[in-house]
């Protein structure tokens, strides 16, 4: 399979992470990957938190690396979580910034290992070694990274620009075409295919599924009805999203109310007619788990 980033879509960088420690496979790393030492702190209303929650479930790490769930809307005036403040203060003397999630912490030291979600997911993928589910199989790194760029630039950023209140009609139309072009390419890939790569769930599927959740539950609210109908016309793509929503590792982490509260608490854009055109009934599909997915 070959997926390359769109020429019209630049790479989109996440904000700089406050901490970027890594888990290693031996004691020399400083953070030896042993069970019951580390803990994830996340909100599934946040895209990064949802990605990590899904990956964590697919890897079966409930016992080895517990998860502390945080509120959908941060409770500090600075935009952070008060529950994370002790970890930040123990990890950085006189930390003055917000205590943001997600966080991978070290229960042995009471300090933060990393706040960089992509690194955290890759480290969790190596946590239990060979012989288990792998989200980043050998030979698929370039495919997964290309999907990540497409989702960040061609879906997330393009959808934001297409619905931005202060943008002119030409800018919004151009952004919508980038979004539709990205969806077209993914639609062609998924026509007749169950997953994006290697006939199994990988990190690429997590990335795309979360991007589609955000597109339908957040970005759609700022697009006109005609644009949403064009987006909804990608039948293979939305059938794929529906199928993954029925997988317990995906659907059980969907906090639709939390996503809505987080969006309304952060967003200053104007609601458009597309808000009334829901593409998927996410709650219904998440509750409909086929026998094939039951453990």
CA 240 to chain centre: 16
Residue whose C-alpha is closest to residue 67's, from 132, 137, 124, 148: 124
16: in domain: no
Residues 107 and 153 in one domain: no
For 158-210, the pLDDT digits (tens) are: 999 999 988 899 999 999 999 999 999 999 999 999 999 989 999 999 999 99
Domain identity same for 33 and 117: yes
Examine the domain organization and report whether 31 and 105 are in the same domain: yes
Q: Are 46 and 72 within one domain?
A: yes
Give the CATH number of the domain where residue 81 resides: 3.40.30.10
Examine the pLDDT at 15 and tell me if it is beyond 60. no
Residues 88 and 183 in one domain: no
pLDDT one-digit tens code per residue, 229-241: 999 999 999 999 9
Q: What angle do CA 274, 279, 284 make, to 5 degrees?
A: 135
How many domains does one find in the chain? 2
Measured distance CA(272)–CA(285) in Å, rounded = 25
Q: What is the CATH number of the domain that holds 235?
A: 1.20.1050.10
User: In this structure, are 37 and 68 located in the same domain?
Assistant: yes
Give the pLDDT of residue 229: 96
**Is 149 in the same domain as 197?**
yes
pLDDT tens figures, 94-122: 788 899 999 999 999 999 999 999 999 99
Whether the ω angle into residue 164 lies within 30 degrees of 0, i.e. cis, is: no
Per-residue confidence (pLDDT) for residue 12, from 0 to 100: 46
Q: Which element (helix H / strand E) includes 254?
A: none
Q: Is residue 187 part of a domain?
A: yes
Q: Tell me, what's the pLDDT at 149?
A: 96
- Please report whether residue 230 resides in a domain: yes
Whether 275 is covered by a domain: the verdict is: no
Range of the domain at 233: 141-251
Residues 202 and 172 in one domain: yes
Q: How many CB atoms lie within 10 A of CB 190?
A: 20
Assign 27 a pLDDT band (cuts: 50, 70, 90).
Answer: low
* Pair 159, 219: CB distance under 8 Å: yes
pLDDT, tens digit, 9 for 90 and up, residues 57-100: 999 999 999 999 999 999 998 889 999 999 999 998 778 889 99
pLDDT in tens, 28-44: 767 888 889 999 999 99
- Higher per-residue confidence, 129 vs 252: 252
């Amino acid at each position: 399979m070959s997926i390359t980033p769109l020429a019209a879509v630049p790479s989109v960088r996440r904000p700089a992470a406050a901490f970027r420690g890594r888990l290693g496979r031996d004691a020399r790393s400083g953070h030896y990957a042993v069970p019951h030492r580390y803990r994830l702190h996340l909100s599934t209303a946040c895209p990064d938190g949802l990605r990590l929650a899904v990956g964590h479930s697919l890897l079966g790490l409930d016992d080895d690396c517990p998860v502390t769930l945080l509120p959908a809307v941060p409770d500090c005036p600075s935009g952070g979580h008060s529950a994370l403040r002790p970890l930040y203060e123990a990890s950085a003397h006189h930390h003055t910034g917000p205590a943001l999630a997600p966080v991978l912490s070290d229960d042995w030291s009471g300090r933060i290992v990393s706040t960089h979600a992509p690194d955290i997911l890759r480290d969790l993928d190596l946590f239990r070694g060979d012989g288990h589910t792998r989200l980043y199989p050998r030979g698929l790194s370039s495919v997964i990274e290309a999907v990540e760029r497409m989702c960040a630039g061609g879906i997330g950023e393009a959808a934001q620009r297409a619905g931005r209140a202060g943008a002119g009609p030409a800018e919004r139309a151009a952004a919508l075409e980038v979004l539709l072009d990205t969806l077209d390419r993914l639609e062609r890939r998924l026509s007749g295919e169950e997953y994006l790569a290697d006939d199994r769930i990988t990190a690429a599927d997590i990335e795309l599924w979360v991007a589609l959740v955000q597109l339908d539950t957040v970005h759609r609210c700022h697009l006109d009805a005609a644009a949403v109908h064009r987006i909804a016309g990608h039948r293979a793509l939305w059938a794929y999203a529906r199928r993954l929503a029925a997988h317990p590792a995906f659907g059980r982490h969907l906090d639709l109310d939390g996503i809505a509260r987080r969006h309304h608490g952060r967003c200053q854009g104007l609601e458009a007619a597309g808000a009334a055109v829901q593409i998927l009934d996410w709650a219904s599909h998440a509750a409909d788990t086929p026998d094939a997915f039951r453990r």
